Amino acid sequence: MDAQAVTAADPTGIGGIGGTVVVAGLGVSGTAAARVLAGRGAKVVVLEGRDGEQARAAAAELAGLGVEIRFGEPAGVPAGASLVVTTGWPPHHPVMAAAAAAGIEVISEVELGWRLRPAGAAPWLALTGTNGKTTVVRMLAAMLAAAGHRALAAGNVGTPVVEAVGGPWDVLAVELSSFQLHRSPSLAPHTAAVLNVAPDHLDWHGSLEAYARDKGRIFERAGTVVCNADDEWPARLAEPYAGGAARVVGFTLDVPRPGQVGVVEDLLVDRAFTADPRREAAELAGFADIRPFAPHNVANALAAATMARSYGVPLEAVRQGLADFVPDPHRIAHVATVDGVDYVDDSKATNPHAAAASLAAYPSIVWVAGGQLKGADVDDLVRRAAPRLRGAVLLGADRERIRQALARHAENVPVVEVAGQDTGVMDRVVTEAARLATPGDTVLLAPAGASLDMFPNYGARGAAFARAVLERLNGPRGS
């Protein structure tokens, strides 16, 4: 749906919305949605269940724009509401349930941004997946920029979509979560990709099937469908589009077939976007161009390259984009080497699938794990990783579940549990990990769980780990 005219009866310009627009959540995207809607003259009410300094600062800014903020757990939809814009509240939340019962449309901030696109707006290259989304979207944006396009990484990373659509961009690289896709019924990206699907957020979606189904919504109106051919769910989600109006392209860590992008020896190779994919392959980049190098990061680079090529990015810009790409913190980041032991921060591994990819990158590991598992099972993760484990140090709310899995599948691996939620926990974790490690090992923070049981976010958890490691290397501050 292209942007519609703004009228007195419809100040939002998104079609038939003349009443109050309710924004559920005062985070980054919720604040952006309220700001944009208020700027269009809409009457906006923001609901926020959690109080705090950051929320109060956002509320003060929006209040100056005429937006009403209501703190506290809401029981239903405010009177007069004609639209609800959610930033990730689950369908079973009382506000979402009340809106559904009243026949009030509920959309995501991403869907709002799509509907507010101006005429001739930048096309979207959109992607989703359980893991790797931010890395891929930033790689993709770097490749687009290397090709001379004014490109922006937006969505679930960086700039909220509702703000990005009004910018001076040629193309948007858009990261989308399953929460956002659940409430985004009209997105029609130029290219859409599903990187991988593994159990995550099952407490929100209710089942793996429902979670995967929401991921697959990204393909529904895409011009080009890109899927991980090595992953069962993305391949299954893309299958209905083969032979239809959309072009379907797979990426693989194996030698690519015609119509795929893949790997030959240590090269990334395109057999999808060449003049004759059946007879011709084109070199995109080499393993040496991928930083940090790990098998799952090769898959990330393949996904970004496939999406870039679908938009006409030349071969040399793919390689240059990988060279220009700067990895985000807390993603298999080498912190230091102490007494012959490498310490690696992959705090972003917030689910078992991500942790499995990280564990597969190192041959001899003392594993630092634990946090909130969000309903995910860790047995398969531990079973696969067991031959690489030299020890494990566990922390956080669900550490007992990981300990039990280790007892079942890695009974000879020494395990230390570190209790407590004080600021010194990570110091004790690193001390115990160092005691278990020998030269040549990697102490790997790949928690397999979320961080909110102990830290404000995964970044704070990774920073605490890195700080403890560096103090071990350099001595405590002030010493």
Neighbours of 359 (CB within 10 A): 25
Round to whole Å and give the CA distance between 194 and 217. Answer: 10
Q: Is 124 helix (H, G, I), strand (E, B) or coil?
A: strand
Neighbours of 378 (CB within 10 A): 24
**Residue 410 φ/ψ, nearest 5 degrees:** -145, 55
Annotated binding-site residue? 412 = no
Round to whole Å and give the CA distance between 48 and 65. Answer: 17
- Sign of the four-CA dihedral 55, 58, 64, 69: negative
Round to whole Å and give the CA distance between 179 and 176. Answer: 8
Annotated binding-site residue? 462 = no
Q: Which residues pair with 421 in a beta bridge?
A: none
Annotated binding-site residue? 252 = no
Annotated binding-site residue? 215 = no
Neighbours of 407 (CB within 10 A): 12
Q: 134 to each of 110, 126, 286, 381, 427, how far by Cα in Å?
A: 16, 11, 21, 22, 29
- Cβ–Cβ under 8 Å, residues 287 and 252: no
Annotated binding-site residue? 129 = yes
Q: What is the dihedral of CA 182, 184, 186, 187, to 10 degrees?
A: -100
Round to whole Å and give the CA distance between 131 and 199. Answer: 11
Annotated binding-site residue? 12 = no
User: HSE on the CB side for 165, CA within 13 Å?
Assistant: 24
Annotated binding-site residue? 286 = no
Annotated binding site: 129-135
Annotated binding site for ATP: 129-135
